[in-house]
Amino acid sequence: MRGSVPLSLFGATGYGARLGQLAAVRTVLSAGAPFLFAAGIEGVGPGAALVAALVTGLTALVPLGLLRRRVVGRGR
């Protein structure tokens, strides 16, 4: 899935570079998330930090929906 979705969305030109960009973003976010969540727990408490994490996760569904519309609109 990680390899085929960018190929389907962006084409074969610059495919390796595009995968590298996506991997870099994913790695940085994965590395920073525990520290940010711990800071949130310390700053606003565990309940509010969990709500913020839930809102962030649900907000991530918006770009995924837009990508889906883009792909379905192209007839794929």
Q: What is the pLDDT along the chain (76 residues), one digit of tens a residue?
A: 667 777 777 778 888 888 888 889 999 999 999 999 999 999 999 999 999 999 999 998 998 888 888 777 766 5
**What is the model's pLDDT at position 6?**
75
C-alpha–C-alpha distance, residues 24 and 16, integer Å: 12
SS3 of 16-62: the string is HHHHHHHHHHHHHHHHHHHHHHHHHHHHHCHHHHHHHHHHHHHHCHH
Beta carbons of 37 and 46 less than 8 angstroms apart: no
Cβ–Cβ < 8 Å for 52, 40: yes
Encode pLDDT of 25-40 as tens digits.
999 999 999 999 999 9
Q: Domain map of the chain by residue range?
A: 4-73
Q: What are phi and psi of 66, to 5 degrees?
A: -65, -40
